[in-house]
Amino acid sequence: MKFKFPYQGYNVEDLIRRCGYGKINNPHTNETSYKRALGSGFYPRFHVYIYEYDNYFEVNLHLDQKKASYEGTTAHSGEYDGDLVDNEARRITKVIADIYGVAV
């Protein structure tokens, strides 16, 4: 699920951290993403990629149910929609709207 926010003078990484996400650096791709665990284990977890543009940033959210099944592949049991993902997108939107000082 993808959704957008306008820039409001805040650091994007700080915003997503204030939503409860921790940073992940992938040493193989040198790509940065963010995760929020749903329990005490590594999975399931919400997983976010952030893409920055001139006037806005985009959040690409999905739910990782488990680790990739096969060595050397990135395939996993990811959910890109559904109630859990929808609710998390609303939660992130509410947190950022509160920081921005605007109503959702």
Amino acid at 31: E
Mapped to the 3 state alphabet, what secondary structure does 62-103 carry?
EEECCCCCCCCCCCCCEECCCHHHHHHHHHHHHHHHHHHCCC
Q: What is the pTM of this model?
A: 0.88
Per-residue pLDDT of the chain (104 residues; tens, 9 = 90+): 999 999 999 999 999 999 999 999 999 899 999 999 998 888 999 999 999 999 999 999 999 988 766 555 555 568 999 999 999 999 999 999 999 999 87
Total domain count, the chain: 1
Amino acid 66: pLDDT: 84
User: What is the structure's pLDDT at 25?
Assistant: 94
pLDDT score at 73:
53
- Structural domain boundaries, residue 64: 2-100
- Per the CB < 8 A criterion, the answer to whether 10 and 28 are in contact is no
Q: What is the pLDDT of residue 42?
A: 85
